[in-house]
Every structure is written in C-alpha cells, then in structure tokens.
C-alpha cells in the first residue's frame, strides 16, 4: 500500500546555516534594497524562494563526478560524458554546452532569427522574450485562453493554444516564423505542465509548415512526471521514456541545467540542423568558449551529466511534486489565492486577488513580495507588471522551491508567515518605480511605497 507521508528521499550530509533577522532589521534592509528583493544580500534572507535556478543541492554522485572533471581545453572526457548523457535523454544530434540557459537562447535567436521575425511560445520566460526582442524579432505568447485565470484548474494548464498558433502563422506568413518554442513546464504561466498530446499537436503544425520546433526544456523532468501522473497511456512509462518521447517531437532545445540539470551552473543548446549547429558553434567560440566546454569547467559538465539523469528518478520526482503541492494546498485550504493547480517547481500567489485594493499600476506583486520578507525573512519574486510591463496578463508572486534544499518544517514556516500576511492584507500599500533600466528592469529597479 502506498504510504501517506512522502519523505525527502535523501539524508543530509552537509548543512548550511541560515540567519534570523528582526523585523526592524528587515525594514531597514528592505529600504536599503529599494524594495527590490534582488538587491538584498542573501545572508539577510532566512528562506530563499527567489528562484529554483542554480540553488539546488547536489548529490554525493554529482560531487564524486566533479572530482572526475577533465579540464582539457579541447576534447575533454567530461564533454563526452556530458554529450552522451544529454543525448541519451534529448536525442538531438548536436549538443552545445553554454554557461546557462540564456546563453543558449542568445546563440539560437542570433543565428535563427532576424528583425521582423515572429517567435511563438506557450509563454516566453523573461530572458527568452528579451533575447528574441534583442535581435529585433517579436516574441508572441500563445497560452491557452482559459489558463489566464489563476483559479482555473486544468491538468495541463501550460499547453500552447494550437488554434492560436495556426492563426498566427496564417496572419504573419510562414517565412516570418523561423521557429516555434514550447516551454516545459510553462514557468511564467505558473509552472504548469504541457501534455504530450499538446506537444504532438504543436509538432504537427510545425511539420506541416516546415517550421522547426524547439523546446525550452528547463523543467523537462517535472513535466514528464506530470504526464505520467495525469495523461492517459503514460502510467507505466518511466519519466525518462516520456521525456524521450517528447523531445522526439522537436528539432532541438535550449536548456538551463540550473533547473532539472540539478547543477549550480550550466546549460546547453541542442539541434538536429547541421548548418545551424556550425553557425552556433562559431558564435559560441566568439563569446562562450570552445565547443567542448562552452563557458563551463569540465567539472560542471560532469555535474550536469549526472544531474539530468538524477532529475528523472521517480523517488525524487514523487517527493518534488508532492512537496510543491504541500505548500500550495496548505495555502489554498485557508483561502489564499494561488495559481491552481500547484505547479512543479513553485507556488504562485495571485497578487491581484490577494491585494485587490492595490491598483495594477502600483505593482501588487512587488508589494506582496516585500511583505513576505518583512513578515518572515522570505524572499520571493514578482512575476507581473514590473517584470513584463504592459505584456503582463497576471500579477503573481512566485515562491520557487530549490531542489533538495528545504525540509517540510521550512515549508510549514513559510505557510505560517504567508497566512499572517493574509490576515492583515487590507493594510498593505502599493509601490511606485523610482528607477528602471531600459530592459529586464525587474532585476535592478528601485521602488518605494506609495504613501
Ligand atoms: C523557462 C525558462 N527559460 C529560460 C530560463 C533562463 O535560464 P538561465 O537562468 O540559466 O539563463 C529560465 C530561468 O529561470 C526559465 O525558467
């Protein structure tokens, strides 16, 4: 009989202390950080849910592999192990290592796109959108229309709107669409999975129009596990078989190994296109490094080679998905508005519903994230108007859960602090921006409370 309690499937061998601060200290620290949690020193954060990117704990196997790192400039054994491990899962012909996901994006879009092109995606992540726009192309989000409502519960709320994709290609013309991207799981759309059925339908549209399909594969293992749990016909398949099936529908991918690569740094770009691969490697040499290391140390390649396989282990995925749902369910049971159903790597608070008294141009998401820090030293991130300006369809606060880092009692504490903020939500004020950079402004913006 399956057990009711799902435990962390690991023992803790090395610990990292975290530091308490007082409410008065946090008020001062937040003022000094201009109410932008990116600008806080990490040492002043108790529970850091800013991102699940690069913040995971590596396994003993990964650390052992790190010691096997071959730091040869060209043709290292570590690259071979990395390439074989990635190809085993992703199946693409060319594997190009990069220092992280956005480097893979920059290289792909620089080579494949030009001014005036249009790139459809279920939902672009912020760096993906910025890299598309940086080469003068237009980034178009095509989520399911019903997914825009945070409270709607759908098993595959991350799916792409296939009819919308067809209509877009018909409107702008196939020549202006150099590639289609599918982000698994759909991070900006609430960490929601994409079904195999949807990936198959998107792939069929792409094949019909002879447009390459690329996956933004950051959370491919979590997505595969959701398919196993929720989609008919996949119960008896392993997450690895499911991932392999999904990638066989595409022509390449970009990947940040800081997520389901279970590594602290790294990424890669894959393609089946020989001509594109040559151009991509040339650009890689210019800005990242030689194609057998691509801006990474041999030891990083080793950690990723082990990590992508560990991310697909069922014990790990069962715990990962259950612990994220644990946080989400404890909040929604008390009436806290979250994006439903809980996603894979994060819980998203619906800041518009949480702080309904705050006008949208006063950044309810930023105000809520600031309050979570003041209340309990918790760092989260706004995904809304500050991040996407007028393109924002929702104002969310993401509580991203680092992999294999926090235990259930940490999460219980987070729930307690959020419920305290929920009790006094009526007293919370909006924010105004006092400084912003020309792009990706949320990383460095300064804000202040509206009095
Ligand atoms: C869906 C998605 N794509 C791309 C990226 C960019 O990856 P990186 O931060 O490694 O550059 C991220 C990072 O959070 C992401 O979540």
CA of 218 to the centre of ligand 1 (A): 7
Q: What is the DSSP letter of 441?
A: G
> Which ligand 1 atom sits closest to the C-alpha of 187?
1
CA of 102 to the centre of ligand 1 (A): 6
CA distance linking residue 174 with residue 195, whole number of Å: 25
CA of 217 to the centre of ligand 1 (A): 9
Closest CA to 432 of 415, 409, 451: 451
Q: pLDDT tens digits, residue range 104-155? A: 999 999 999 999 999 999 999 988 999 999 999 999 999 999 998 888 999 9
Q: Which of 218, 269, 383 to mutate to test the pocket of ligand 1 (most atoms within 8 A of CB)?
A: 218
CA of 195 to the centre of ligand 1 (A): 20
Q: Is the CB of residue 404 less than 8 Å from the CB of residue 356?
A: no
Residues framing ligand 1 (Cβ under 6 A): 53, 100-102, 125, 127-128, 183, 187, 216, 218, 256, 258, 267
pTM: 0.94
In this model, does residue 321 exceed pLDDT 70?
yes
> Which ligand 1 atom sits closest to the C-alpha of 219?
1
> Which ligand 1 atom sits closest to the C-alpha of 104?
11
What does the pLDDT read at residue 357? Answer: 97
Strand partners of residue 61: none
CA distance linking residue 296 with residue 291, whole number of Å: 10
Residue nearest to atom 8 of ligand 1 (CA): 101
What does the pLDDT read at residue 136? Answer: 97
CA distance linking residue 168 with residue 130, whole number of Å: 20
What does the pLDDT read at residue 59? Answer: 98
In this model, does residue 332 exceed pLDDT 90?
yes
In this model, does residue 205 exceed pLDDT 90?
yes
Compute the average pLDDT of residues 311-316: 97
DSSP, collapsed to helix, strand or coil, labels residue 346 as strand
CA distance linking residue 379 with residue 362, whole number of Å: 20
CA of 333 to the centre of ligand 1 (A): 30
> Which ligand 1 atom sits closest to the C-alpha of 258?
10
Q: Which of 51, 52, 109, 125 to mutate to test the pocket of ligand 1 (most atoms within 8 A of CB)?
A: 125
CA of 185 to the centre of ligand 1 (A): 11
What does the pLDDT read at residue 191? Answer: 87
351 — alpha (psi -120 to 50), left (phi > 0) or beta?
alpha
Q: What is the DSSP letter of 339?
A: P
CA of 395 to the centre of ligand 1 (A): 19
CB 287: neighbour CB atoms within 10 A?
A: 14
Q: pLDDT tens digits, residue range 253-301? A: 999 999 999 999 999 999 999 999 999 999 999 999 999 999 999 999 9
CA of 421 to the centre of ligand 1 (A): 29
Confidence of residue 2 (pLDDT cuts 50, 70, 90): confident
Compute the average pLDDT of residues 85-91: 98
């Amino acid at each position: 009989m399956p057990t009711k309690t799902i435990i962390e499937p690991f023992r803790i061998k090395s610990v990292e202390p975290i530091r308490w601060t007082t409410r008065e200290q946090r008020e001062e620290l937040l003022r000094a950080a201009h109410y932008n949690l990116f600008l806080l020193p990490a040492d002043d954060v108790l529970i850091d849910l800013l991102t699940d990117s690069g913040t995971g704990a590596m396994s003993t196997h990964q650390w052992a592999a790190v010691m096997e790192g071959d730091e040869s400039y060209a043709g290292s054994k570590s690259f071979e192990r990395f390439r074989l491990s990635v190809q085993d899962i992703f199946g693409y012909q060319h594997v190009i290592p990069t220092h992280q996901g956005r480097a893979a994006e920059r290289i792909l879009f620089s080579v494949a796109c030009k001014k005036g092109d249009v790139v459809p995606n279920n939902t672009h992540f912020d760096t993906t959108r910025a890299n598309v726009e940086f080469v003068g192309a237009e980034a178009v989000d095509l989520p399911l229309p019903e997914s825009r409502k945070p409270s709607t519960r759908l098993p595959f709320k991350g799916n792409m709107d296939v009819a919308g994709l067809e209509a877009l290609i018909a409107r702008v013309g196939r020549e202006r669409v150099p590639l289609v991207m599918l982000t698994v799981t759909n991070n900006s759309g609430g960490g929601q999975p994409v079904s195999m059925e949807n990936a198959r339908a998107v792939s069929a549209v792409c094949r019909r129009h002879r447009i390459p399909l690329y996956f933004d594969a950051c959370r491919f293992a979590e997505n595969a596990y959701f398919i196993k749990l929720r989609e008919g016909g996949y119960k008896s398949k392993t997450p690895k078989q499911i991932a392999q099936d999904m990638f066989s529908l595409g022509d390449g991918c970009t990947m940040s190994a800081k997520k389901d690569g279970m590594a602290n740094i790294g990424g890669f770009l894959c393609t089946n296109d020989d001509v594109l691969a040559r151009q991509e490697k040339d650009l890689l040499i210019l800005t990242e490094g030689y194609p057998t290391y691509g801006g990474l140390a041999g030891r990083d390649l080793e950690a990723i080679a082990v990590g992508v396989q560990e991310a697909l282990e069922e014990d790990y995925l069962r715990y990962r998905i259950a612990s994220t749902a644990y946080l989400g369910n404890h909040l929604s049971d008390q009436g806290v508005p979250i994006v439903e159903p809980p996603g894979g790597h994060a819980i998203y608070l619906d800041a518009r519903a949480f702080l309904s008294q705050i006008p949208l141009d006063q950044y309810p998401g930023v105000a809520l994230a600031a309050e979570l820090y003041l209340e309990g030293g918790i760092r989260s991130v706004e995904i809304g108007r500050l991040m996407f300006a007028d393109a924002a369809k929702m104002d969310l606060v993401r509580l991203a859960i680092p992999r294999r880092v926090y235990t259930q009692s940490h999460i219980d504490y987070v729930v307690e602090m959020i419920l305290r903020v929920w009790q006094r939500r009526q007293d919370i004020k909006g924010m105004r921006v006092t400084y912003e950079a020309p792009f990706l402004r949320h990383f460095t913006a300064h804000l202040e409370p509206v009095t």
